Amino acid sequence: MAEKKSALGFGFIPEETNHHFLVFIPKTKDGNITIYERFDWHNNSDVQKIDESRDRAKAQISKHKWKLIEETLKLEFNNRLKQHNTIVGRWKLGQVPVERLLGKEMLLLVWAIEDSDPSVIPIAIRNWLGLTPEERWWLFTMTNASTGGLYDKKGWRKAIRYALSENPIEEKNKQASLFETLFENKLKD
């Protein structure tokens, strides 16, 4: 059996690419989780310095909401990392790097719940899990192109929230129903 690939956080391998997402989980009980998209990695440092001119803050959510999604993210990502023979990750206080494609998927879920009531988060999780990774990447790309900044909470970003968190769907045809709802909501904006 081949040796498992070493990775930082969730699947991030700096020797392969510098593009990653960095999740900052503060030590304070009531602090907010902030997620950055980054294109540089400083190998000589345990703590990455955020450069506001290059690193892009993409989302910020409360620790309460994060706690409601972190286990789902961990399980989903680690199952995929195992398939690629990569060491699994875990969430910890401080900075946690996330491989770029997994980071796109994570942000899609975070964007769906950032302004929603916590009671709808289980619906958002179920709908998010119903999407394939490729569908998540596509939705991230479309959303990020127009409303990917920390405070861009309109247009696609709003449609993602409605599609994932306010759309309880039946198990059959879940992706078709989700995409129909997403585009209907986008047309309303």
Residue 52 has pLDDT above 60, yes or no: yes
**So what's the pLDDT on residue 187?**
58
Cβ distance 48 to 95 under 8 Å?
yes
Mean pLDDT, residues 31-44 taken together: 95
Asked if residues 61 and 106 have their Cβ atoms less than 8 Å apart, the reply is no
12 DSSP 8-state letter:
B
From first CA to last CA, the distance across the chain in angstroms is 52
By the 10 Å C-beta count (0-12 exposed, 13-18 middle, 19+ buried), 97 is classed as buried
| pLDDT at position 178 over 90 | no
pLDDT tens track for 60-106? 999 999 999 999 999 999 999 999 999 999 999 999 999 999 999 99
Residue 177 in this model has a pLDDT that exceeds 90: no
For residue 173, the model assigns a pLDDT of 46
Q: Record the tokens describing residue 64, joined without a space.
A: 């309460």
Contact 97, 142 (CB under 8 A): no
- Phi, psi for residue 165 in degrees, rounded to 5: -105, -20
Residue extents of the structural domains in the chain: 20-188
Q: What are phi and psi of 160, to 5 degrees?
A: -60, -45
Pairwise CA distance, residues 46 & 30, whole Å: 24
Residue in the structure block whose two tokens are 């992706």 = 175
- φ/ψ of residue 89, rounded to 5: -115, 175
